[in-house]
Amino acid sequence: MSQENAKPLFGGVEAGGTKFICVLADSRGFIKARVDIPTTTSDETLAAVRDFFIKTAPEFGQLAALGIVSFGPLDFNPRSPTYGYITKTSRPGWSNINLLGFFKDSLNVLVEIETDVNSSAMGEFTEGSAVDCENFVYVTVGTGVGAGIFAGGKLMQGISHPEVGHMMVPVAREDEGFAGSCSFHGNCLEGLASGTAIHKRWQTHPKNLLENHPAWDLEAYYLAVMCVNLTWMYAPEKIIFGGGVMVRSHLYPKIRANLKKMLCGYAHDAALSDMDSYIIPTALGGDAGITGALALARRVYLEARNA
Ligand code: ZN
């Protein structure tokens, strides 16, 4: 019994524009407590998150570590004086907020912070579509396009996290003249294939576009271009899709067919001959982020223990 009580508890926070999801879980990811806190002012919201973990302690025990997934932009450079801060955001009152430091100081626990897309990739790795592989790419296509890249069982991180969404792609002939929607690059991948781009091009929300609308052929073309680039660059075992646009399941066969054509038979691995298991949807859906936050907490705890 005492051994049972000694098992570490992990916290996860998924910080979003409308709510902060907070969970307390055991080492297997079993949720012991959960609360959704509305996103209001930074002071009020962060205090409510902190209080959730303080108030649950008498019943469940002290946190061993906390994983935080947050909207950005965030400073992920460990050498930077503002590491772990939400930097400059258009969200009023949320710029220059020391997210990492606030929880480290107020809860006195190990804290790990990650982008929402990297965290979702981590969730897929620990409990989702990528439990059986160490090399994969998780791509989210929603209002933006982003990707977390796993290589050798670890998230790739260079001078910052990879920015797959902003790769340049050849513009489809039928799309010439469309300026794109990326405020930095115009017609980068995100500017051509995000939900925002679809909305701008067709002047309606993507959910209003029927399956036979030409929007989806164009979308599948751009996502297949991304997939072929990711395939040659990272040789992943799988490419997993999530995000609001990718709930449209009719996109998958189109992406696979386009990709197969673009690979031109220049494939070195048998994995590429089975497109149905190469291009796949998320197994966790909307839970990928919070699942990843808990995985982050476990990772930082184990790293500290093994250090
Ligand atoms: Zn861009």
The position carrying tokens 């513009």 is 171
Of 113, 133, 114, 117, the residue nearest 125 (C-alpha): 133
Stretch 130-143: mean pLDDT, rounded? 95
> In angstroms, what is the span from residue 106 Cα to ligand 1's centroid?
37
> In angstroms, what is the span from residue 142 Cα to ligand 1's centroid?
14
Q: Give 68-126 pLDDT, tens digit per residue.
A: 998 878 888 888 999 999 988 777 899 999 999 999 999 999 999 998 899 999 999 99
**CA–CA distance from 225 to each of 68, 260, 264 (Å)?**
32, 11, 13
- CA atoms 111, 112, 115, 116: torsion sign: negative
> In angstroms, what is the span from residue 20 Cα to ligand 1's centroid?
27
Any idea which of 66-75, 196-205, 208-217, 296-305 has the lowest mean pLDDT?
Answer: 66-75
**Which pLDDT score is estimated for 213?**
98
> In angstroms, what is the span from residue 177 Cα to ligand 1's centroid?
17
**Which pLDDT score is estimated for 91?**
79
> In angstroms, what is the span from residue 223 Cα to ligand 1's centroid?
15
> In angstroms, what is the span from residue 249 Cα to ligand 1's centroid?
25
> In angstroms, what is the span from residue 176 Cα to ligand 1's centroid?
17
**Which pLDDT score is estimated for 4?**
42
Which carries the bigger pLDDT value, residue 191 or residue 72?
191
In the chain the domains, ranked by start, together with CATH numbers, are: 10-115+286-306 (3.30.420.40), 129-282 (3.30.420.40)
Angle 195-202/214-234 helices, nearest 10 degrees?
150
> In angstroms, what is the span from residue 94 Cα to ligand 1's centroid?
23
> In angstroms, what is the span from residue 166 Cα to ligand 1's centroid?
4
> In angstroms, what is the span from residue 201 Cα to ligand 1's centroid?
16
The position carrying tokens 């907020």 is 97
> In angstroms, what is the span from residue 184 Cα to ligand 1's centroid?
5
Of 273, 297, 250, 269, the residue nearest 113 (C-alpha): 297
Q: What mean pLDDT, rounded, does the chain reach?
A: 92
pTM value is 0.86
